[in-house]
Chains A and B, each alone.
Chain A
Amino acid sequence: MLTQVLHMYVSTPLVAMVFLGVAWGIIGGVLPGISASITMALLVPFTYTMSAPMAIALLATTYVGAEYGGSVPAILINTPGTNSAAATTIDGYAMKCLGRPGEALGISLYSATLGSIVGVIMLTVLTKPLATIALMFTPMSYFALGVLGLSVIASVSGDAPVKALATGVIGMMVATVGSDPVSGVGRFTFGSPDLLSGIEPILVMVGLFAVSEMFVQASKADWGLVEGKVRLRFPGRQLRRRLFRPQMIGAAIGTFEGIMPGAGGAVASFIAYNEARRWSHHKEEFGHGSPEGIAAPETSNAADAYGALIPLLSFGIPGSNSSAVLLGAFLIQGLTPGPQLFKEAGNVINGLYGGMFLAPIVLVILGLLILPACIWLVNRPKIYLMAFIFALILSGVYSIHNSIFDLGIVLVAGVAGYVMRVLDMPFLPAVLGLVLGSMVESNFRRSLVLSDGDYGIFLHDHISAAFLAVSVLFIGGSFCVQLWARVRTGMRVRSSPG
């Protein structure tokens, strides 16, 4: 594989794609409100005409860049560029207030690079063995895998499990639009030929994530400005030694949370921050500009971005919004992530791994080079930035199929996303339902055809039975965790004075 990857570096524009992806990711991550998934979604239409390895490498490295980019406004203007950079604001902004913004940015970049290196090693080591297991799958196993993927909804539901389930069902409903997978009969097309091939998940995702964000931003005030000149400063040898422990804590937590679908980078970075403080010899510095308080969440964010690709590539299950967008890009290229991908599209895997190997090095180079441009961008009036991002979304979506109908779908999805935001309904369940819905339905029906209508076939197939059992455990476990959290909150309220 190594020789193939090296060959790709010299014979294809892979290196340029990595530079482009990381640069775009950093720029998108720097802009408050533009999350990693939105940054990727904005880029998807441009990848439509590219070859699959280049398109996937471009988007995956955008994810890495965006996770780092989010820390820049978190440190400089106390506004996280992405959700997962929220933990960095605590000590990053405090260090900036102490007059050391360059040092804070240097620690952030250094930690993100280290997290990326750990992440890429885990990605390479874990993905293929998991995918090999998935090669033994039958339609029953695929159905059960889809159910397992949907059971992720239980862990992303927070304190609103009914709403999360409902949005998951809505996602599955959208997936039923188009031709029936068994008989080919049109469903919910209302005579429109545009709907016969179904609704592309990427259109719904761009609407849910990017357009709804524009709708929300339309009534929000401008963000802050960066004052003075900022120059990046990397940590010295002594500080690097001190940062090693929190970085390893961050890398371990980030990778684990990335692999666990639904956990999310923001949760990982806060856990990493908390654990770094617990194991630190300088606990008193946390919250007042501690370098360890920046290193742990930043390493965790980077490792999480890589970890989230493992379930996507092995089983085709997106564990985060960003990996769901990447799944959409795979589908646009006519590829289905999962075990077959390693057999049928080895060049895509090589391109992806090649890009991800190179991303940490490119992150350092671009982190140094484009910081002034990022600061310039953060300081632009939001009025202009919003207009240009909106124009980019509409132009990009049109270019997917040269269709005004697609623009209409994106706007409808944008309004739905806005309503979901107002009513506190989570997005990820809807996306999971959308991308897993047809897999669940078609394999369920194929299995029943094979068994002549006997539902017991799902338990007779060992892999299917195991997945269904894990799904039950997953849902039960999430339910118990939520119940325990409520009991603890109740106990705290009762024991608190007054």
Chain B
Amino acid sequence: MGNRSSVKDLVSGLLLLAVAGGYYWGCGLIRHSSLSDSVGADGFPRALAFVLGGLALVLILKSIVLGVRACRRGSAQLQWDSQLMRSILRMLGLLALSIGYLLILPIAGYVLSLMLLLWSVIVYQGKRFSWRAVLVAAGGAFVFWVIFVMVLSIPLPAGAWVKWL
């Protein structure tokens, strides 16, 4: 367990260091204003970048120390975590479906895009293709349309195809 957590610490540390670096680079893009105070618009963000960078280094050092200790005890072993990999792939799949929804929303409109999203998530989660799944998705999209557009009067995109009609 200690070995696994030290790998997580190392990955966290490297990731945080990258975030700190990127954020510090972004601080350099902040314009200087004559209205600014002694701290400046970039003062606080720069301090945050340094703190995060320091914390990232602590995490990296901690993980290295734990890893070296595990090696000395002979308990160090890197295992391929297939369950985690599967979880990441499943997450990426769901993320791709959501991005697809964002892309088609202005073109296909709310009802059609939502129906496609509902149907694709249902199929993605393991339901075999069936007319029942299509009907559930269509019914669900209609119910959402009634709630959001009819009841709450929210102007959700009608879709570019409406103009062609």
Q: List residues of A whose CB falls within 8 A of some B CB.
A: 46, 49, 162-163, 165-166, 169-170, 172-173, 176, 180, 182-188, 190, 214-216, 218-219, 381-384, 386-388, 390-392, 394-395, 398-399, 402, 404, 407-408, 411, 414-415, 418-419, 422-425, 441, 444-445, 448-449, 453
Partner of B84, one of A162, A182, A187, A422: A422
Q: Are A184 and B154 in contact (CB under 8 A)?
A: no
Given the interface pairs A387-B121, A390-B117, the reply to whether A182 lies near B36 with Cβ below 8 Å is yes
Q: Are B156 and A162 in contact (CB under 8 A)?
A: no
Which 6 pairs of residues, A with B, have the shortest CB-CB distance? A387-B121, A180-B41, A219-B90, A183-B33, A215-B91, A219-B87
**A215 to B62 alpha-carbon distance, docked (Å):** 29
Can you name 14 A-B residue pairings with CB atoms under 8 Å?
A166-B56, A180-B30, A185-B31, A215-B90, A215-B94, A384-B136, A387-B117, A390-B121, A391-B114, A394-B98, A395-B148, A402-B154, A424-B8, A425-B12
**New A-B pairs, 9, CB < 8 Å, besides A182-B41, A424-B8, A448-B38:** A185-B33, A218-B125, A219-B86, A383-B122, A394-B114, A402-B155, A404-B102, A422-B84, A423-B15
Residue in chain A with minimal CB distance to B140: A388
User: Which residues from B are CB-within-8-Å of A187?
Assistant: 26, 30, 41-42, 45
Within the complex, the shortest CB–CB distance from B110 to chain A, in Å, comes to: 8
Within the complex, the shortest CB–CB distance from B64 to chain A, in Å, comes to: 14
Within the complex, the shortest CB–CB distance from B130 to chain A, in Å, comes to: 12
Q: Are A182 and B35 in contact (CB under 8 A)?
A: yes
B interface residues, how many (CB within 8 angstroms): 69
User: Which residues from B are CB-within-8-Å of A163?
Assistant: 9, 12, 59
User: Which residues from B are CB-within-8-Å of A422?
Assistant: 8, 84, 87-88
**A441 to B42 alpha-carbon distance, docked (Å):** 11
Within the complex, the shortest CB–CB distance from A208 to chain B, in Å, comes to: 14
User: Which residues from B are CB-within-8-Å of A392?
Assistant: 144
User: Which residues from A are CB-within-8-Å of B106?
Assistant: 404
Q: Are A162 and B62 in contact (CB under 8 A)?
A: yes
Q: Are A449 and B55 in contact (CB under 8 A)?
A: no
User: Which residues from B are CB-within-8-Å of A423?
Assistant: 8, 11-12, 15
**A394 to B104 alpha-carbon distance, docked (Å):** 13
Given the interface pairs A187-B30, A390-B117, the reply to whether A166 lies near B5 with Cβ below 8 Å is no
Residue in chain A with minimal CB distance to B5: A424
Within the complex, the shortest CB–CB distance from B108 to chain A, in Å, comes to: 13
Residue in chain B with minimal CB distance to A187: B30
B158 within 8 A of A: no
Residue in chain B with minimal CB distance to A420: B12
Partner of B144, one of A170, A182, A395, A408: A395
Interface of A is mostly: helix
User: Can you list, as one digit per residue, whether each of B65-97 has a CB less than 8 Å from chain A (1) or not (0)?
Assistant: 000000000000000000010111011011100
Q: Are B125 and A386 in contact (CB under 8 A)?
A: yes
User: Which residues from B are CB-within-8-Å of A185?
Assistant: 30-33, 36, 41
B161 within 8 A of A: no
Q: Are A169 and B33 in contact (CB under 8 A)?
A: no
User: Can you list, as one digit per residue, whether each of B11-36 has a CB less than 8 Å from chain A (1) or not (0)?
Assistant: 11001100100010010011111011
**A386 to B155 alpha-carbon distance, docked (Å):** 25
User: Which residues from B are CB-within-8-Å of A180?
Assistant: 30, 33, 36, 41
Q: Are A173 and B48 in contact (CB under 8 A)?
A: yes
Q: Are A166 and B16 in contact (CB under 8 A)?
A: yes
Residue in chain A with minimal CB distance to B4: A424
Residue in chain B with minimal CB distance to A410: B98
User: Which residues from A are CB-within-8-Å of B44?
Assistant: 176, 441, 444-445
Given the interface pairs A176-B44, A182-B36, A448-B39, the reply to whether A384 lies near B86 with Cβ below 8 Å is no
Given the interface pairs A395-B114, A395-B144, the reply to whether A162 lies near B55 with Cβ below 8 Å is yes
Residue in chain A with minimal CB distance to B113: A394
Q: Are A391 and B39 in contact (CB under 8 A)?
A: no
B112 within 8 A of A: no
User: Which residues from B are CB-within-8-Å of A415?
Assistant: 91, 95
Which B122-165 residues sit within 8 Å CB-CB of chain A? 122, 124-127, 136-137, 140-141, 144, 148, 152-156
